[in-house]
Amino acid sequence: MVRAEHWDAAYIEHGIDGVSWHEPVPETSLQLIEALGVEPAEPVVDAGGGGSSLADELVARGFADVTVLDLSAAALEAT
Ligand SMILES: C[S@@+](CC[C@H](N)C(=O)[O-])C[C@H]1O[C@@H](n2cnc3c(N)ncnc32)[C@H](O)[C@@H]1O
Residues 16-38 have pLDDT tens digits of 999 999 999 999 999 999 999 99
Number of other residues whose CB lies within 10 A of the CB of residue 19: 15
What average pLDDT score do residues 9-20 get?
A: 96
User: What is the domain range of residue 26?
Assistant: 2-78
- At residue 1, does pLDDT exceed 70? no
The pocket around ligand 1, CB under 6 angstroms, is made up of: 3, 7, 21-22, 48-52, 69-72, 75
Number of structural domains, the chain?
Answer: 1
Measured distance CA(48)–CA(36) in Å, rounded: 20
Nearest-CA residue for ligand 1 atom 19 is 71
Question: What is the average pLDDT value for the chain, to the nearest integer?
Answer: 96
Measured distance CA(79)–CA(62) in Å, rounded: 19
> Which one, of 74, 72, 20, lies nearest residue 48 by Cα?
72
Measured distance CA(4)–CA(60) in Å, rounded: 29
